[in-house]
Structure 1
C-alpha cells in the first residue's frame, strides 16, 4: 500500500476509511485558510476524498496520507498533482502538515521523495509548486529543493483572487542540485 517511503515517512493512498484524518486536516482553519483560503464541510471532505481516489485512477498519483514511521501517526498529506495553469499542464508537488509537525524537516523530506518519484518513476522533465508569498515555510522548502520562481498568477480561492508564485525545477537542474548539495 505504501507508494513512497523515506527515512522517517510512509506515503500511501488516501482511502474512504481515512475520512476522520482528512477531516482533521481539511477542517483545521490554521492549516487551510493560509494555503487554500477555506475549510471543508463534512460533505466536502467526502467529495475531496472521492476526487483524490479518482485522480489515482486517472493519473496514477495524487495526494497521499503521510505517516511518521516512528509513531505510526498521520502528520498530514503530501503528493503529486496534475494541474493546469494558464492553459499549460504541469505536475505539481504539494503538502499540508499538521502544525505539530512543522519545522522538523518532514516537508522537505517528503517533497524530495515525491520529486524523485516524478523524475524516476513518472519520467517527467519538470515539476512545479505554487505558493502564496506569505507562506514563508513553503517557499523555504521549494528553495531547498533548488526551485526558482518562473511565473506568477492569480488563483481563485473561495471566491477571491489570490496571488501565487510558481516555482519550477527541471529534471536536469534537480539532479545537478542534488549532487551539489548532497541531499
Structure 2
C-alpha cells in the first residue's frame, strides 16, 4: 500500500490483509490491551483490520501501519479516527504499538506526524486524544503533542464505567 506519511524513523501506510499477523501481535497481547480491558479473538482482529480499511475508503484515513524505515517491520498502528465522546464525535489521533517498541519514542513521533497531517491536509481545527485516566504513557504522548486536558468523562467498558480524559490541541495560527 502507498505511503501516507514519513517521519524520521517510520513510514505510515494503509494496512492490508498481509498485516493481520502483525495486528494480532498487538491486539492479542493482554498487557498491550490493558486500555481496552481485553485482548482480541482472531475474529475481532480481522474485524479491526476490516474497519480500518473501511475508514480508508470512507474518509481517506484511519489507523495506519507504522513501519520502521530501516527494516520495514511494523512497530504498531497510528492514525486518525472519529471517536465518540459523550454527545459528539471527535477527531482522535490514536496509537497502539507492539510491546517491544514501547518507550522508544515511536508513538510520539508518529502521532505528531498524524496531528500535523490533520491540520495541514485535512484542515482540522482541533485534534483530540481520548485516554483512559490510568494510561500514563498515553498521557505523556498527548502532552508531548502540546495537548491539554479539556475534561474528564465516564465511558462504559466491559467491567463497568471507566474514567477517561479528553486531551486536545488546536491548529496553530497561520503565519503570513
**TM-score category of the 2 structures, normalised to the smaller one:** over 0.9
Q: Does 1:98 align with 2:98?
A: yes
Write out per-residue CA displacement over residues 74-101 of structure 1, whole angstroms, 9 at most, x where no aligned residue.
Answer: 1111110111212222110010111211
Q: Is the 8 A contact 1:65 1:78 kept in 2?
A: yes
Q: Does 1:15 align with 2:16?
A: yes
Q: Give the match for residue 112 of structure 2.
A: 112
Q: Does 1:69 align with 2:69?
A: yes
Look up the SS of the partner of 1:50 in the other structure.
helix
Q: Give the match for residue 3 of structure 2.
A: 2
- Between structures 1 and 2, the one with greater helix share: 1
* RMSD value, Cα: 1.6
Q: Is the 8 A contact 1:119 1:171 kept in 2?
A: yes
Runs of 4+ in 1 over 3 A off after TM superposition: none
> What is the TM-score with the length of structure 1 in the denominator?
0.90
Cα deviation, residue 2, structure 1: 0.7
Q: Is the 8 A contact 2:17 2:49 kept in 1?
A: yes
> What is the TM-score with the length of structure 2 in the denominator?
0.93
Cα deviation, residue 112, structure 1: 0.7
Query: How many residues are aligned here?
Result: 174
Write out per-residue CA displacement over residues 6-40 of structure 1, whole angstroms, 9 at most, x where no aligned residue.
Answer: 010011111122111111111011101x2111111
Q: Give the match for residue 157 of structure 1.
A: 157
Q: Give the match for residue 181 of structure 1.
A: none
How far apart in 1 are the matches of 2:47 and 2:100? 26
Which shows bigger deviation, 131-140 or 21-30? 131-140
- List gaps (5 residues or longer) in structure 1: 177-183
Cα deviation, residue 160, structure 1: 2.4
- List gaps (5 residues or longer) in structure 2: none
